[in-house]
Structure 1
Amino acid sequence: MDKSKGQLEAEVSKALTQWEKSYLGRGSISVKSDILRDMIIVTLTGILTPAEYALCKDKEGLLSIKNTRNSLVETGQEQLKDIIFSLTGQEVTSFHTDISTQTGERFMVFKLSGDLEKLLS
């Protein structure tokens, strides 16, 4: 692979921002991707709208927002796996995501078929 680790991390962040905007209708405020061994860990900040933060003030609203937001991302999982494959050449063997209703951050972890960090070094 002729890209540096930093270049590939930036490309992943840019591609996921574009996916968010086209699939979810809006993007996060910032996206940071890190390649670690056979994983790509993505941190997205500024996910929740002011209305969603207001709903998160009680447990029922919090769980509703968390479930809805996670379901939305889960339905786009195949597209996300395709994006990662097209950028890295690695199959995504598993995908994990969660959102913090306190900070408005989402984490995505893509577990890959090979050690991408080693390939890039």
Structure 2
Amino acid sequence: MDKSKGMIEAEVSKALTHWEKEYLGRGSLTVKSDILRDMIIVTLRGILTPAEYSLCKDKEGILSIKNTRTSLVESGIEDLKEIILNITGLEVVNFHTDISTRTGERIMVFRLSDDLTNKLL
């Protein structure tokens, strides 16, 4: 592989920002990607709208926002898997995501078919 760890991390961050804007209609304020063994861990900050924050004042609103946002992201999982495959050359075997309605931060974890860290050495 000709790309460095930092180059791949930056490429993933840029591609996910583009995907968010195209698929979800708006992007997060900041995106940071980190490669760790067979995982790519992506932290997206500033993803909630002011209206969503106001809904998150009670448990029902929090669950509603979490469920809606998770469903939206998971409905685009095939696109996300394709993005990761194109950048890393490895398939995504598992995907996990969660959102904090308090901080407006989303974490995405892509488990890969092989140890990407070793491939970069």
Q: TM-score category by the smaller chain?
A: over 0.9
- Output the CA distance in 2 between the equivalents of 1:86 and 1:103: 31
Identity within the alignment, %? 77
Which runs of 4 or more aligned residues in structure 1 lie more than 6 Å from their structure 2 counterparts after TM superposition? none
The TM-score, its normalising length taken from structure 1, stands at 0.99
**TM-score, length basis structure 2:** 0.99
Match of 2:3, SS state, is: coil
Structure 1 unaligned segments of length 5 or more: list them. Answer: none
Residue-pair matches, total: 121
Q: Residues 17-49 of structure 1, C-alpha deviation per residue, up to 9 Å, x if partnerless? A: 000000000000000000000000000000100
Classify the secondary structure of the residue corresponding to 1:35: strand
In the other structure, the counterpart of 1:14 is 14
What residue in structure 2 maps to residue 62 of structure 1?
A: 62
1:59, distance to aligned residue in structure 2 (A): 0.5
* AA matched with 2:42: V
Q: Which residue of structure 1 lines up, in the alignment, with residue 113 of structure 2?
A: 113
Q: Which whole-Å deviations, capped at 9, do the CAs of 1:44-89 have from their partners, x for residues lacking one?
A: 0001001100000011011000000000000000000000000000
d(CA) in 2 for partners of 1:87 and 1:3?
Answer: 10
Give the aligned residue type for 1:109. V
Structure 2 counterpart of 1:118, one-letter code: N
Give the counterpart letter for 2:117 in structure 1: E
What is the RMSD computed on CA atoms of the aligned residues? Answer: 0.4
For 1:84 and 1:4, the matched residues in 2 are separated by: 15
CA distance in 1, matches of 2:119, 2:5: 9
